[in-house]
Amino acid sequence: MSSTPPAAAPPHPPSPPRRALVAGSVGNFVEWYEFGVYGYFATIIAANFFSTDGASDLESLVKTYASFAIAFFFRPVGAALFGRIGDRVGRRPTLIMVLLLMTVSTTLIGVLPTYATVGAAAPVLLTLLRILQGLSAGGEFGGAVSVMTEFAPPGKRGLYGAWQSFTVGLGLLAGAGMAAVLATVMSAGALNDWGWRLPFLLTLPLGGVALWVRLKLDETPEFVREHGPAGAPGVPPTAPPPAPKPSTGQTAKAILLGAGRLMGWSAAGYTFLVVMPSYLQATLNASFQQALISSVVANAGFAAMILPAGRLSDRVGRRAVMLTGAVLIALLSWPLLNLLQDPDSGSVAKGAAVFAAGAAVGMLAGPGPAMLSEMFPTSVRYTGLGLSYALANAVFSGSAGLIITELVASTGDVDIPAYYAAATCAVSALALWTLRGDDHLRPLRRTAASELAGPPPGTAHGAAEETTGKTAG
């Protein structure tokens, strides 16, 4: 008697887009929660780790922001290192590595001895941990955005990519909220002594949840098409022929252009969302609670605008939305800051001003991740995304607190934050103008057949690629 062979088991289904969205978002939340906490507690950290005999409060704050900036300058190193791993080995294992590094280094900050306990070793240890955080943060962005956009359904890349920025806003908001709660329920002495450690220690359980989510993620379909399954279940074992890779010069050019397109977002974002509390305290004599509440309102405006801006960019294009945000910041930074400086302005008006500033930054942050993802082919997407973002943040975000504090101290001009945000957004607007207006309608690039960064809109080459660019992906 013949028997029918058993049917083969159905292939393991790939991760659904929503799972990829969550897996990409959780690490960003943890990362930016910590960076926000460090910025919001900058004055307390300065007193505990950088306050030496004879040093002024301003001098200690400058040293604290120098440590803040060091972490940002190690981001490009992390982006290059983990980006190469992510483009060769896979998005999933690399994102797990960077999450573990971020969680451990952040938690250790919460148990570090202070300058009063171990002397000069305290700032050295803090700086070493900040370097590890910078390395991990450099590897986070490129992988998270690659996962989100490579899993995104057609016509939703802007919205999916915007979740990266949205969780940044949530992380900063959570950090500000935690700092505001502790400042409210604890005495100043307890907060300065040990209370500041609690937000850093909270990273351990947050990182555990994020790790659990990422372990359930499959490799992205774009990476599997490029490199084969690499052990992914349910995928045929034969790897496709390798796609032609862009030259080093092409990639470097696209990375620099990407950083230029992001510089306004980076500079204005840190100026209004992270540096502002310390600026209000040190320059305008605001209380710690007032400064933190102002930051919470600004971050609320930022978070509220991100997803609508990403969704809108799927309809009208990345260029239109991001250019609008850059121009608004360039034009309104100085009037908004003057409103905050005016003692006769009411609290409602000041709250509306910081909310509007945050919302304008959100117009850049919403479409930004998808815009970058569309600039690079699969073979270098993780690296290109990570380095563009890391370079912009290293130069224009990590240095924001140091530059603003030093210039205000040396010139006495309290309008320095407005000048900084406006100037960087003006330059960023020029770089954004070179975006093609229809990049949101094209598939993600899988080969180097078309120009990485894309020609300026309206050129003959750009018009020619209207018909050929779609096959390049």
Q: What ranges do the domains of the chain cover? A: 17-226+245-458
Task: Name the pLDDT band for 469 (thresholds 50, 70, 90).
Answer: very low
Give me the sign of the Cα torsion angle 307, 310, 313, 319.
positive
On whether the CB atoms of residues 71 and 130 are closer than 8 A, the answer is yes
Predicted local confidence at residue 172, as pLDDT? 75
Q: Which residues contact 237 (CB under 8 A, 6 or more apart)?
A: 228, 229
pLDDT tens track for 402-434: 788 788 888 888 888 889 999 999 999 999 999
Residue 452 has pLDDT above 70, yes or no: no
Task: Name the pLDDT band for 43 (thresholds 50, 70, 90).
Answer: confident
- Rounded CA-CA distance 274/285 in Å is 17
pLDDT tens track for 76-120: 999 999 999 999 999 999 999 999 999 999 899 999 998 888 888
pLDDT tens track for 230-256: 444 444 445 555 556 777 888 899 999
Task: Name the pLDDT band for 57 (thresholds 50, 70, 90).
Answer: low
Task: Name the pLDDT band for 312 (thresholds 50, 70, 90).
Answer: very high
Task: Name the pLDDT band for 10 (thresholds 50, 70, 90).
Answer: very low
Task: Name the pLDDT band for 343 (thresholds 50, 70, 90).
Answer: confident
CATH H-level superfamily of 17-226+245-458: MFS general substrate transporter like domains (1.20.1250.20)
Length of the chain: 473
Using DSSP's 3-state secondary structure scheme, residue 111 falls into coil
- Rounded CA-CA distance 35/140 in Å is 13
Residue 66 has pLDDT above 80, yes or no: no
User: How many C-beta atoms lie closer than 10 Å to residue 153's C-beta?
Assistant: 9
Mean pLDDT of 163-183: 84
- Kindly report the backbone phi and psi dihedral angles of residue 445, in degrees, each rounded to the nearest multiple of 5, phi listed first: -70, 135
Task: Name the pLDDT band for 456 (thresholds 50, 70, 90).
Answer: very low
Predicted local confidence at residue 159, as pLDDT? 95
